[in-house]
């Protein structure tokens, strides 16, 4: 435990050295001119799937929302507290990102929870959250289920009027990506061919 804290403090010092030192630093620039990311990512909370690390991005490059199993819920305008939907609204309507990437991954614990525990409330929030996903193929394995979940999140994206509108006007492109933890490869869904293909 002490070591892990030491590691992140070392990381913090490296970060400051690389990004926040001097008048011309990245952070000074971003502070002065604000953020202007072109890409938004919906990713899982999984510690192995950090979009900024996988894509080797700098501060300011990605607008990211992470939740258990990288789910985009349907558009529901009610009194409930919709954190992911609020992030989507911020990224798409205010920052006007041009790309929205839904980043699924292999070995997803959230998807596994959905498959193991579909109807039993043995936790406070997780089951209810992952039950947003209704896999079309009930007998599929967790990784195939995670890919089906991406398709469902894609369909849910289109229930947001401002996402649908920006896609139709070709101001926003929606991408479904699946990250394989073991190989570190990303597979991209081809809408034309209906299959996942290795990202070149």
**Marked catalytic residue, from 13, 14, 16, 48:** 48
61 binds Zn ion (CB under 5 A): no
150 binds Zn ion (CB under 5 A): no
H/E segment holding residue 175 = strand 173-179
177 binds Zn ion (CB under 5 A): no
Binding window for Zn ion (CB under 5 A); candidates: 42-50, 52-60, 130-138, 166-174: 42-50
Q: Is 188 helix (H, G, I), strand (E, B) or coil?
A: strand
Nearer to Zn ion, 44 or 163 (CB): 44
Cα(183)–Cα(102) distance, integer angstroms: 19
Neighbours of 149 (CB within 10 A): 26
Binding window for Zn ion (CB under 5 A); candidates: 44-52, 57-65, 73-81, 181-189: 44-52
Total residues at the site for Zn ion (CB under 5 A)? 4
Window 93-122: residues binding Zn ion (CB under 5 A): 108, 110
Cα(109)–Cα(94) distance, integer angstroms: 32
Nearer to Zn ion, 113 or 172 (CB): 113
Give yes or no: 137 in active site: no
Cα(120)–Cα(45) distance, integer angstroms: 22
Residue from 193, 200, 178 nearest 70 by CA: 178
Cα torsion angle, 117, 121, 126, 131, sign: positive
44 binds Zn ion (CB under 5 A): yes
Could you list the active site residues? Answer: 44, 46, 48, 105, 108
Residues that bind Zn ion (CB under 5 A): 44, 46, 108, 110
């Amino acid at each position: 435990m002490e070591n892990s804290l030491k590691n992140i403090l070392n990381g913090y010092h490296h970060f400051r050295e690389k990004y926040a030192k001097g008048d011309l630093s990245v952070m000074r620039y971003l502070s002065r001119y604000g953020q202007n990311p072109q890409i938004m990512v919906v990713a899982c909370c999984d510690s192995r799937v950090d979009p900024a690390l996988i894509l080797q991005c700098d501060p300011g490059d990605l607008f990211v929302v992470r939740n258990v199993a990288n789910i985009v819920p349907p558009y529901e305008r009610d009194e409930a507290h919709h954190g992911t939907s609020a992030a989507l609204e911020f990224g798409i309507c205010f920052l006007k990102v041009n790309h929205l990437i839904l980043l699924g991954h292999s070995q997803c614990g959230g998807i596994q929870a959905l498959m193991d525990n579909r109807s039993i409330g043995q936790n406070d929030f997780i089951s209810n959250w992952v039950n947003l996903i209704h896999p079309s193929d009930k007998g599929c394995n967790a990784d195939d289920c995670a890919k089906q979940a991406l398709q469902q999140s894609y369909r849910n994206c289109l229930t947001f009027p401002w996402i649908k509108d920006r896609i139709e006007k070709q101001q926003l492109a929606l991408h479904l990506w699946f990250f394989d933890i073991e190989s570190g490869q990303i597979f991209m869904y081809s809408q034309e061919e209906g299959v996942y293909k290795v990202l070149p």
